[in-house]
Structure 1
Amino acid sequence: MKHLHVDIETYCDLDVSDVGVYRYAEDDSFKIILFAYSFDGEPVTVIDCSRDEYPGESIPVRVWKALTDPSVIKIAHNTNFEYVCIETYYGIGLDLTQWFCTMIAAAYLGLPLGLDKIGQVLGLSEQKDSRGKSLITFFCKPCKPTKKNGGRTLNLPEHDLQKWNEFKEYNAQDVRTEKEIYRYVSRFPGLPGIEREYWILDQIINATGITVDREFIEAAIETNKRFTKDVHDEMVNITGVDNPNSLTQLKRWLLHELGHEIHSLGKDYLADAIDGALLPEHVERVLRLRQFASKTSISKYDTMLAYAQKDGRIRGLLQFYGANRTGRFSGRGVQVENPH
């Protein structure tokens, strides 16, 4: 079997950590800007895809063919990202069973998930380039318009060719690091058949996603806004403080009303104080309102809207081997396995 190692760098107006890879990759602003690859023992090649007109490089035919060739194993670290982005952006059908994920293989061996952390733990000769974070911020995310940068919101290669060349080397180094991780995990039996089947099922579940009721979610968010405002206004009316969300102001008011200092307004104190039924009625009401205001379950609705795609579904909600010591799944985004 041949092996094709792949790593891509992308640009999008959205932050993938806020919306998940499926929503990220379908956004109109999304693009693949660098495509690094290596066949078996060949050196790494980096293709500049940043703009069609700059500098006009294209992905070789043999790479295109390899992406859909069942006799070629496609290897990436966190395969889900490369798989989803390449399939969505280029509009080609990819077969997940032809892919191998070094992140999952490493997790099965009890190693960390991150490319950099694995390299450090194993003491690899090929380590992830530490410049990556700043380069990704520069080229993969919108930039703040300033007088100095001419008011632009996007950094292109010509805006800093030195950084761009560093970014291409960073992309290539990721492939070299991933290749060394693959050589390491290949010394072991790898994912047993049943575990690989579970991983493929996990990817199918993530790609299928679940439907969300956008109208209901938006109504719930709006209702919560009105409720929060009502709570805020009532606390202001009772306490007279400018900002009842301020711990300092609220504690000062409680000191005046109760005659002693309150050191904490955490949920445990609030529950105990209210259940004790020893508070003046107006103070108890303020503490109950404080309880209402501190609830955060509504944040799931915001996450659902952020993850929602054009077809009304949210995807990428599970992480296979997220807890790599036990092998159990972890949640991503909405955390659907946690109803609270």
Structure 2
Amino acid sequence: MDASTEVLLVAYAFDNDPVEVCEEMPSHVWDAIEDRNVLKIAHNAEFDMSVCKYVLGIDISYDDWFDTMYQAAYYEWPRKLSELANVLNTTRKASQEELMFFSLPIKPKLKRNTSAANKEYNRLVQLLPPEFNDPKEFPDAWNRFKDYARGDVEVMRECFNKMQALPQIELTAMRLTFEMNFNGVPFDVELAQRIMQRVHEYETNASAEALERFGIENLKSTQQVQAALQARGVFLPSLDAKQRGNVTHPILDLREQASGLAFSKLPKAISRLCPDGRIRGEFVGYGAHTGRWSSKGVQLQNWARTGENVSETLESVESYAHLRQHLRLCLGHDTHLSFTGADLAQIEARIVAYLANCKYLIEAFANGEDVYSKTAARMFGGECDPETGKHPKRQYGKAAVLGFGYGGSGAAIERIDKKFYDEIGAGAAQDLCYTYRDAHPEIRSLWYKIDGAFREAMKSSTAQLYRNKVLLKFTYDGKTMRITLPSGRALYYRHVRGTPGQYGLDLSYMSYGEGHTSWKKLWHGTMVENIVQGIARDILVGAMARSCERAPDAQLVMSVHDEAGYLHPPHVPMLDIFLEEMARPVEWAPGLITTGDGFTSDRYRK
């Protein structure tokens, strides 16, 4: 937390007692925070926990705090308290207007004249310690601030009571979130600075080359770059990579290098460093609709995967694109600890095969065979090589497994393997899609069975679907669809509606999960993907929690998709422990074979 952070007010209530507001922490409240038998409930609880830990110096435990923001996310309600109060129709509404007056520093008055003296004055002013409004000078505003604090607790308590309790697996996941965010991810500043120096060299060289070869004085100027491209017969509606399709040109490559956007996370990460060299508070519990963690701050989940021939020495950097593959090496490095990372191997494909009862895939996973080659053999015929187990069209099988399991068309391959998609072309990709569907009637049936159960529940309130050895239960109350997963927790879809479409009713639901409300399309592919990823997350949560129990000296520091990372003393066999827990039979999904794949190193090397 910033060094200027201090406690202005303490607002609290015990059970249903009236809310109290104090300017000093009462001793009995302090005692209650330290008491492991007292549950502390807060909205965005990590903030309150951080104040208690770092500002007040109170020893806290992750096991006796509860976050109503996480609770809201699980039930697919807004995370922001004011918006949550609106949708839950609380007696009192929440507002943050009064909060800002005393909580935000006063902006320094800067001089507008751009003279050298004024620039230096402005620079020095911004280095001064922040100043805040004094409550004694604004008594009316201070009273409003107290009323805000009281109302905040009242609204939060009413929201907590209006929402149902969390299932046990979500209490576990919430506390794993606390652990990750308070442990923090070590960040190698020295390596980051050396990477940034290389980026600066690429920027300088790109600008010089653009001027010499193409006459472009400023690569960051859209107008100049577009003019240079058009002079060479390249016409683009936009320079945005997502909108220009497969168009490539040396000018576009140089522009990317000059922008340095691929490395913009590094200075932001440095700005977020704690004194001990770790980045904290980066993960959002129940950040995705499926329950997976998402990330905030420097968005660690979006950092480029580590490529081949990479090293923290940067001695083998081949290109600007290759340099980007060194980013993750900045993460997870602690001089005295090892880093272990592991993920659930091919977990989504395993769950799809399990729910579809696709026997040849289930057997292939159980026997440890090359599933991509087995899929290719199923689609195209022929035998796998008896020595290597590989099929001549293994790459096609891999693209099909990764791209078509959720009902996607040929274009799905472009998202998971653009190089392969460009090689075979759109027509061949679509043909591959049809071949996959014809060869996997069990999986295709799964899509429509789930879609059918969803629609049946909309008509008759409930529907049950037995898949292999597990039950999926669909419950609809006229507005909200709840899909109960085999683990016992559920996925929620608010304000489900159907509108006439080309092939019947097109379904959609109101999503609150991304900081704003939006209507999202629902079709069988989305439903299956959500269910599969939800099951995968529940398996991962179980493995993470058990691993933490078995290795109390290890520190859980991250989760990326179906992967988790731990720091631990070198003598702790963390990889063995984590892989054992990943392979443990899933109690609520009998017969589902799961395995893990991971590494132990001195930093995040994946």
TM-score bin, normalised by smaller chain: 0.7 to 0.9
For residues 197 and 311 of structure 1, the distance between their equivalents in structure 2, rounded to whole angstroms, comes to 27
For residues 304 and 214 of structure 1, the distance between their equivalents in structure 2, rounded to whole angstroms, comes to 9
Kindly state the Cα deviation for residue 270 of structure 1 after the two structures are TM-superposed: 6.1
Asked if 2 retains the 8 angstrom alpha-carbon contact of 1:87 and 1:94, the reply is: yes
**Residues 202, 260 of structure 1: CA spacing in aligned structure 2 closer, same or farther, 3 A cutoff?**
closer
Of 237, 252, 258, 1:263 maps to 237
Which structure: larger Rg?
2
**Residues 33, 195 of structure 1: CA spacing in aligned structure 2 closer, same or farther, 3 A cutoff?**
same
Q: Residue type of the partner of 2:150?
A: A
Segment of structure 1 superposing worse, 97-106 or 229-238: 229-238
Segment of structure 1 superposing worse, 215-224 or 174-183: 215-224
Residue correspondence of structure 1 range 238-257 to structure 2 within 5 A:
238-255=213-230, 257=231
Q: Any unmatched runs of 5+ in structure 2?
A: 111-124, 305-606
Residue correspondence of structure 1 range 124-273 to structure 2 within 5 A:
124-129=90-95, 132-133=96-97, 135-146=98-109, 153-185=131-163, 188=164, 190-255=165-230, 257-258=231-232, 262-267=236-241, 272-273=246-247
Q: Which residue of structure 2 aligns with residue 53 of structure 1?
A: none
- Percent identity, aligned pairs only, is 32
Q: Residue type of the partner of 1:319?
A: V
Kindly state the Cα deviation for residue 116 of structure 1 after the two structures are TM-superposed: 1.1
For residues 31 and 180 of structure 2, the distance between their equivalents in structure 1, rounded to whole angstroms, comes to 27
Kindly state the Cα deviation for residue 306 of structure 1 after the two structures are TM-superposed: 2.1
Q: Which residue of structure 2 aligns with residue 99 of structure 1?
A: 65
Deviations 1:137-166 (A, max 9, x none): 43222222239xxx9843222343332322
For residues 174 and 201 of structure 2, the distance between their equivalents in structure 1, rounded to whole angstroms, comes to 43
Number of aligned residue pairs: 287
Asked if 1 retains the 8 angstrom alpha-carbon contact of 2:203 and 2:260, the reply is: no
Q: Which residue of structure 2 aligns with residue 31 of structure 1?
A: 6
For residues 235 and 244 of structure 2, the distance between their equivalents in structure 1, rounded to whole angstroms, comes to 14
For residues 269 and 112 of structure 1, the distance between their equivalents in structure 2, rounded to whole angstroms, comes to 31
Q: Which residue of structure 2 aligns with residue 123 of structure 1?
A: 89
Counterpart check, 1:303 vs 2:268: yes
Q: Which residue of structure 2 aligns with residue 55 of structure 1?
A: none
Which secondary structure state, in structure 2, belongs to the residue aligned with residue 164 of structure 1?
helix
For residues 142 and 201 of structure 2, the distance between their equivalents in structure 1, rounded to whole angstroms, comes to 48
Kindly state the Cα deviation for residue 322 of structure 1 after the two structures are TM-superposed: 1.2
Q: Residue type of the partner of 2:252?
A: L
What is the TM-score normalised by the length of structure 2? Answer: 0.44
User: How well do the aligned residues superpose, as a CA RMSD in angstroms?
Assistant: 2.6
Q: Which residue of structure 2 aligns with residue 327 of structure 1?
A: 291
For residues 244 and 159 of structure 1, the distance between their equivalents in structure 2, rounded to whole angstroms, comes to 52
Which secondary structure state, in structure 1, belongs to the residue aligned with residue 297 of structure 2?
coil
Which secondary structure state, in structure 2, belongs to the residue aligned with residue 207 of structure 1?
helix
For residues 172 and 195 of structure 1, the distance between their equivalents in structure 2, rounded to whole angstroms, comes to 28
For residues 227 and 244 of structure 2, the distance between their equivalents in structure 1, rounded to whole angstroms, comes to 16
Which secondary structure state, in structure 1, belongs to the residue aligned with residue 66 of structure 2?
strand
Of 293, 312, 317, 2:282 maps to 317
Structure number with higher relative contact order (C-alpha < 8 Å, ≥ 6 residues apart): 1
Asked if 2 retains the 8 angstrom alpha-carbon contact of 1:270 and 1:291, the reply is: no
Which secondary structure state, in structure 1, belongs to the residue aligned with residue 60 of structure 2?
coil
For residues 260 and 286 of structure 1, the distance between their equivalents in structure 2, rounded to whole angstroms, comes to 10
Q: Which residue of structure 2 aligns with residue 293 of structure 1?
A: 258
For residues 190 and 40 of structure 2, the distance between their equivalents in structure 1, rounded to whole angstroms, comes to 40
Q: Which residue of structure 2 aligns with residue 40 of structure 1?
A: 15
Q: Residue type of the partner of 1:82?
A: D
For residues 273 and 339 of structure 1, the distance between their equivalents in structure 2, rounded to whole angstroms, comes to 24
